Chain A
Amino acid sequence: MTEATYPQCRIVPQRFLKSDSAQRLLNAVVRVEGVRRMIINGPRLPATVPYGPARGKPNPHPDRKKIMVGDTEFELEVQVGGLILEVEEKGVIAEIRKVCDEVLTVPYTLDEGTFMKPVPTMSDYAKYGPDADPRLLGLADPRSRKGLVIIQGLK
């Protein structure tokens, strides 16, 4: 676990974002200097129908699609309801607010606080072991088989 603590903030739009708006917001936010880590939050959009009589059948969803952030392409698996960001220093949050004002077409709130888990849980220990990289903590669902996405192409 790292000793240093970094400021964190959370962007919560008043409406769920469609994939296009989410892509626009993410691209604007990652270009702000000093963003260390980021989580995209929201209700999950499963690839197959999870339960009911149609269980297991494919679930085409217009918002579950590949998006491009920086030079990195990844699949959006949630309907974007919020972003949690960890930044290098407090001044970056003001920058993020400015970017949100420009990009978001719906009202939003930007809170400062602690939103990522600071210490590993039992599940994290089981998944990543005793010498886990502290930067991984709280970034991905430990039950998920997919890992993190490293955004590239910003320089």
Chain B
Amino acid sequence: MAYKPQYGPGTSAVAENRRRQMNPGVQLEKVRDVTDEDIVLILGHRAPGSAYPTAHPPLAEQQEPDCPIRKIVTATDGAKAGDRVRYIQFTDSMFNAPSQPYQRTYTECYRFRGIDPGTLSGRQIVECRERDLEKYSKFLVETEMFDSARIGIRGATVHGHSLRLAEDGMMFDMLQRCLLGDDGIVRYVKNQIGEPLDRAVAVGKPMDEAWMKKHSTIFHSLVGSAYRDDAEYIEYIQRIHSLRTKYGFMPKE
């Protein structure tokens, strides 16, 4: 029988959202349009329209060693062209943001190829070849995994995920990379490391509270659904905890 991943336990909406994001068979809802040039501007790794700088010659032009693994694994577009490795980093507010660092890493590992994610408590970074990165970033920004107010694209100075939101609902950002305009649209005025952009990049309107609650992947007893209300999740985590505690005694279920 073929293995079919379950992606995660739980009966709550949060658990279901987590499984939805992780499952590459599910097509995530596209909630905003951002052009390729906008993504390049926010990332700040190269000027829009310029050629991709390379770290090595294209694979087709160089002699590759006779390696069985290279025959099994097809190189990604970026690797084939010899692109540099570059990154995008996200900060997700704890107030019902539609994704969070661990969730991002799991999702990316299931959905993308040739990536190196780094997971931290308040931020998540993913590194890969530049042209793959732009493709993946577009997915991460355009789909329901992003919200313009409660998720920030921040390469450095990420502080803010656990702080109160501002009066207008925006997550705190010391560098204020994005601003909420009078028309209700959030625009990036700086790239992810805080350098001013030549033109503002619109990333759409912040989602409303009901949408955020419905799409959240974070348990939060005060502003969302409480972890303790999901009995199946608790049972699962208790099982893991019990088995790892008894590990030295060779646990048998």
Residues of A within 8 A of B (CB): 13-18, 21, 43-46, 49-54, 57, 59-63, 79, 81, 105-106
Contacts and interface: CB of A to CB of B under 8 A. Distances in A.
A125 B119 CA distance: 42
Contacts of B156: 49, 51-54
B178 to A, nearest CB: 11
A62 B172 contact: no
Interface of A is mostly: loop
Contacts of A61: 174-176
A46 B166 contact: no
Contacts of B176: 59-63
A46 B164 CA distance: 19
A62 to B, nearest CB: 6
Most buried by B among A44, A45, A49: A49
Contact of A46 (B168, B172, B174, B196): B174
Contacts of A79: 166, 172
B175 A15 contact: no
Given A18-B168, A54-B195, A60-B176, 16 more contacts: A14-B164, A15-B167, A18-B166, A43-B159, A43-B172, A45-B174, A49-B157, A51-B157, A53-B155, A53-B156, A57-B195, A59-B174, A59-B194, A61-B175, A79-B172, A81-B164
A50 B156 CA distance: 9
Contacts of B196: 60
Interface residues of B, number: 20
A15 B159 contact: no
Contacts of B140: none
A16 B166 contact: yes
18 contacts: A14-B164, A15-B164, A16-B164, A16-B167, A16-B172, A18-B166, A18-B167, A46-B174, A49-B194, A50-B157, A50-B174, A51-B157, A52-B156, A52-B194, A53-B193, A60-B176, A79-B166, A79-B172
A48 B174 CA distance: 10
Interface string B146-172: 000000000111011001111110001
A18 B165 CA distance: 11
A54 B194 contact: yes
Contacts of A16: 163-167, 172
A67 B167 CA distance: 18
B85 interface: no
Nearest to B169: A15
Contacts of B167: 15-18, 21, 105-106
A101 to B, nearest CB: 17
B87 to A, nearest CB: 11
Nearest to A49: B194
Nearest to B160: A43
Contacts of B163: 16, 43, 81
Closest 9 CB pairs of A and B: A52-B156, A16-B166, A54-B194, A54-B193, A15-B167, A49-B194, A61-B176, A53-B193, A54-B195
